[in-house]
Amino acid sequence: MDEILEIASKHSLLVIEDACQSLGSSYDGKQTGTLGEMGCISMYASKVLTSGEGGAITTNSGDFAGKLRMIRNHGMVSGYDTRIIGFNMRLPEISAAIAKTQMKKIQSMLHKRTINAKKLEELLKAKIANHDIVLPQENPRVKYNWYLYTVAFNNFRNRVKKLLNDNGIGATIYYDPPVHQTPYYSKFHNGDLKITEWASRSVLSLPVHPSLTEDDINLIASKVEEAIKS
């Protein structure tokens, strides 16, 4: 974000953050989604806060907030007073009510995710010694919400995933194929993105959501160990 904001300032550009998965994460003490002019946060069912569907946009600009409210409501200020091109993008009231209730629990949910992530890290460090596996690490400038606990395997990623899934553990790959290799976007990209492609071949996200018990965490770590040593 430092480099992006510097480039944007130099060229008089506005920065809109895709912060969809990162509610509760911070960078230099600032919540993600508040570093640029606007931030987009998802409330899809799998996110740290869910309303079932929908999302929210954050901004400190009263002008942007007013325009966003119009855009979501057919470009209208009120009634049929249409001022700009808009859409029907209003969050249903029942979804908004669910999101407001979730917000009251967000800190406890984030705390449980952190506990689960640290416990999983502790167990995996003991079980994967001498194997070429990279565990996620926070740095001093970053605080994670632990939406996902993503491990990188240089080998046997698919074997680990299969054993976990066979035992009812929802380990998932995000994303394979990477965006530039999907049918639509591949038409616009001619080169290789070697680091992206390595990540797509190597990463596996393990569950750390608040509903997991200590027994669940122990089972996940044990099955990872079983897969890499089999």
Secondary structure (DSSP) of 97-142: HHHHHHHHHHHHHHHHHHHHHHHHHHHHHHHSTTS-EE-----TTE
If one counts the domains in the chain, the total is: 2
Residues 204 and 146 reside in one and the same domain: yes
Is 96 inside any structural domain?
Answer: no
Q: Where are the alpha helices (DSSP H) in the chain?
A: 2-10, 62-71, 93-127, 157-166, 194-202, 214-229
Is 101 inside any structural domain?
Answer: no
Residues 131 and 171 reside in one and the same domain: yes
Q: Is the pLDDT of residue 229 over 90?
A: no
Report the range of poorest mean pLDDT among 45-49, 76-80, 101-105, 147-151.
76-80
Beta partners for 152? 134, 203
| Cα–Cα distance measured from residue 61 to residue 171, given in angstroms and rounded to the nearest whole number | 39
Is 65 inside any structural domain?
Answer: yes
Residues 76 and 114 reside in one and the same domain: no
Is 49 inside any structural domain?
Answer: no
Q: Is 195 exposed, middle or buried (0-12, 13-18, 19+ CB in 10 A)?
A: exposed
Boundary of a domain, candidates 90, 116, 148? 90
Residue 198, pLDDT score: 94
Residues 83 and 114 reside in one and the same domain: no
Is 15 inside any structural domain?
Answer: yes
Residues 223 and 114 reside in one and the same domain: yes
Report the range of poorest mean pLDDT among 36-45, 184-193, 199-208, 213-222.
184-193
Residues 14 and 78 reside in one and the same domain: yes
Residues 147 and 59 reside in one and the same domain: no
Residues 155 and 65 reside in one and the same domain: no
Residue 157, pLDDT score: 94
Residues 218 and 133 reside in one and the same domain: yes
**Residue span of the structural domain in which 173 resides:** 106-229
Torsions phi, psi for 59 (to 5 deg):
-165, 150
Under the banding of pLDDT at 50, 70 and 90, the label for residue 230 is confident
Residue 189, pLDDT score: 85
Residues 75 and 112 reside in one and the same domain: no
Whether the CB-CB separation of 180 and 191 falls below 8 Å is answered with no
**Beta strand 133-134 pairing with 149-153:** antiparallel
Residues 13 and 123 reside in one and the same domain: no
In the structure encoding, which two tokens stand for residue 161, read together?
């995933």
State the CATH number of the domain containing residue 200.
3.90.1150.10
Q: Scan for tokens 């054993």, then name that residue.
A: 163
Residues 126 and 215 reside in one and the same domain: yes
Under the banding of pLDDT at 50, 70 and 90, the label for residue 80 is confident
Beta partners for 205? 150, 172
Is 154 inside any structural domain?
Answer: yes
Is 99 inside any structural domain?
Answer: no
Whether the CB-CB separation of 148 and 180 falls below 8 Å is answered with no
The average pLDDT across 93-118 equals: 95
Which percentage of the chain shows pLDDT scores above 90? 87
| Cα–Cα distance measured from residue 53 to residue 48, given in angstroms and rounded to the nearest whole number | 12
Is 36 inside any structural domain?
Answer: yes
Report the range of poorest mean pLDDT among 14-18, 96-100, 191-195.
191-195
